[in-house]
C-alpha cells in the first residue's frame, strides 16, 4: 500500500501498482486518510493515489486503510509536485482532491502555496480531457488566490459550487466546523494543456565504480559542495563503517526532489566499491551520480585507481 519509488518505474503503471486498470484519482495532503478511505468506499473502481509530506500522517493513513479493509489506495510519502510529475502518466488523471491545504497566510510565504500557477500548468499535462481538481478550504483568501492562479494559467475553467457534504468530514473540516468557520469550494476543470511536457525525472540504473588501492585513514572530512546543471549535492560528513569502509552522508537537491543518501566506499570481493548504499532506497538521479563521480575523483586524488565505472 505504501509506494517505494526507488523500486518502481516512472510513471506508475496501474496494472503493476493496483493490479488493474481504473480511473486514476489523486488526493494531495490526505492527512489521516479518512476522506481517502471514504472516496474508496464510494467508488470501488477508482485507483486512488494519496500523496502526503508528513510521515506521521502517512503512517496513520496506512493503518486506517488496513483497519478499514480499503484495498484500492496507494500512498506516497513525499511532495505533491514531484508525485504529479513523476508518478502520474500524461493525461491519465481524472480527478484531484485537495482538502484544507496549508494556507501559508503571510504574503512572504505565498510561494509555498500548493495551488499556484506552476502547479496548475503541470497539472494540465497530467489530467485527462475534462479532468478536474476539487479544492475545499476554510481560507477565503487562499480560495481566491487559487482561482486567480488557475485563471492566470489560461488552462482551467473555474466554478465555485458549495462544497459537497462528504468533503466536510475530514479531520480539519470537523475541527473548523466546531469553531464555526465558513467553507469554500472550487472546481478547476482542464480546458487546455501547457506546451511544456514536464517530463519525468531522468533516472539511472546505477552509479558506482570499482577502485584499487588503499582507502586513506580519514581523521576529518570537510563538507563538499558539488554544483551541477539542475542542482546541488553536498557531502556533509564521512563516518567509518565497521567493515573497513566509509559512509558519506550526502544531501542532494534537484528540481522537485530533495534526498538524503548514503554514499559508501568499502572493500568488496572485486575491489573497493564506491557508490550508493541501498539504505533508504534512494532514486539514482543525475545529482546522485554527480556526487558519486566527485567521490571517485577525490579518491583518485588520494592515490586510488579506478578499475571500472558505471556512470
Question: Could you say whether residue 59 binds ligand SAM (CB under 6 A)?
Answer: no
Q: List the interface residues with ligand SAM, window 101-130 (CB under 6 A).
A: 101-102, 114
Paired strand residues for 237? 249
Alpha-carbon distance 168 to 191, whole Å? 27
CA distances from 222 to 2, 219, 237, 265 (A): 37, 10, 7, 17
Q: List the interface residues with ligand SAM, window 249-278 (CB under 6 A).
A: none
Residue 28 or 70 with smaller CB distance to ligand SAM: 28
How many C-beta atoms lie closer than 10 Å to residue 291's C-beta? Answer: 26
Instruction: Please give the backbone phi and psi of residue 108, each rounded to the nearest 5 degrees, phi first.
Output: -75, -10
Q: Which of 47, 57, 285, 289 binds ligand SAM (CB under 6 A)?
A: 57
Smallest gap from residue 57 Cβ to ligand SAM (A): 5
Smallest gap from residue 112 Cβ to ligand SAM (A): 8
Alpha-carbon distance 241 to 248, whole Å? 10
Residue 125 or 290 with smaller CB distance to ligand SAM: 125
Residue 18 or 142 with smaller CB distance to ligand SAM: 142
Q: Which of 70, 79, 121, 290 binds ligand SAM (CB under 6 A)?
A: 79
x-or-dash string of contact with ligand SAM, 213-252, rule CB under 6 A = ----------------------------------------
Contact 291, 252 (CB under 8 A): yes
Active site residue 229: no
Across the beta sheet with 271-276, the strand order is 224-228, 231-240, 246-254, 257-268, 271-276, 209-212, 305-309
Alpha-carbon distance 178 to 138, whole Å? 12
- Which residue in 102, 138, 194, 229 is the catalytic one? 102
Question: Could you say whether residue 39 binds ligand SAM (CB under 6 A)?
Answer: no
Residue 49 or 211 with smaller CB distance to ligand SAM: 49
Q: Which of 258, 255, 26, 29 shows the shortest CA–CA distance to 142? A: 29
The gap between the terminal CA atoms of the chain, to the nearest Å, is 32
Question: Could you say whether residue 31 binds ligand SAM (CB under 6 A)?
Answer: yes
Residue indicated by cell numbers 484495498 = 71
Contact 76, 3 (CB under 8 A): yes
Q: Which of 5, 26, 30, 123 binds ligand SAM (CB under 6 A)?
A: 30
Instruction: Please give the backbone phi and psi of residue 94, each rounded to the nearest 5 degrees, phi first.
Output: -100, -30
**Using CB under 6 A, which of the segments 119-127, 167-175, 211-219, 245-253 binds ligand SAM?**
167-175
Q: Which of 142, 172, 176, 183 binds ligand SAM (CB under 6 A)?
A: 172
Q: Which residues are catalytic?
A: 102
Q: Which residues of the chain form contacts with ligand SAM (CB under 6 A)?
A: 28-31, 51-54, 57, 79-80, 99-102, 114, 170-173
Amino acid at each position: 500500500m505504501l509506494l517505494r519509488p526507488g523500486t518502481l518505474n516512472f510513471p506508475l503503471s496501474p496494472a503493476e501498482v493496483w493490479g488493474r486498470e481504473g480511473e486514476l484519482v489523486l488526493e494531495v495532503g490526505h492527512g489521516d486518510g479518512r476522506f481517502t478511505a471514504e472516496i474508496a468506499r464510494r467508488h470501488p473502481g477508482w485507483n486512488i493515489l494519496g500523496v502526503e509530506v508528513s510521515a506521521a500522517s502517512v503512517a496513520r493513513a496506512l493503518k486506517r486503510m488496513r483497519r478499514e479493509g480499503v484495498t484500492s489506495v496507494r500512498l506516497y510519502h513525499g511532495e505533491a509536485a514531484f508525485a504529479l510529475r513523476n508518478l502520474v502518466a500524461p493525461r491519465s488523471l481524472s480527478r484531484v482532491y485537495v482538502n484544507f491545504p496549508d494556507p501559508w497566510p503571510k504574503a512572504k510565504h505565498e510561494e509555498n502555496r500548493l495551488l499556484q500557477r506552476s502547479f496548475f500548468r503541470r497539472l494540465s499535462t497530467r489530467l485527462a480531457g475534462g479532468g478536474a481538481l476539487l479544492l475545499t478550504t476554510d481560507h477565503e483568501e487562499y480560495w481566491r488566490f487559487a482561482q486567480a492562479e488557475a485563471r492566470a494559467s489560461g488552462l482551467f475553467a473555474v466554478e465555485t459550487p458549495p462544497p459537497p457534504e462528504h468533503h466536510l468530514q475530514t479531520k480539519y473540516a470537523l475541527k473548523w466546523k466546531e469553531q464555526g468557520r465558513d467553507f469554500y469550494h472550487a472546481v478547476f476543470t482542464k480546458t487546455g494543456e501547457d506546451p511544456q511536457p514536464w517530463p519525468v525525472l531522468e533516472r539511472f540504473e546505477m552509479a558506482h565504480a570499482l577502485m584499487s588501492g588503499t582507502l586513506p585513514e580519514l581523521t576529518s572530512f570537510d563538507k563538499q559542495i558539488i554544483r551541477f546543471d539542475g542542482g546541488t549535492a553536498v557531502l556533509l560528513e564521512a563516518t567509518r563503517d565497521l567493515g573497513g569502509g566509509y559512509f558519506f552522508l550526502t544531501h542532494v537537491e534537484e528540481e522537485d526532489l530533495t534526498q538524503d543518501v548514503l554514499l559508501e566506499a568499502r572493500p568488496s570481493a572485486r575491489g573497493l566499491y564506491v557508490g550508493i548504499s541501498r539504505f533508504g532506497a534512494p532514486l539514482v538521479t543525475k545529482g546522485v551520480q554527480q556526487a558519486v563521480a566527485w567521490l571517485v575523483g577525490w579518491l583518485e586524488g588520494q592515490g586510488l585507481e579506478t578499475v571500472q565505472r558505471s556512470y
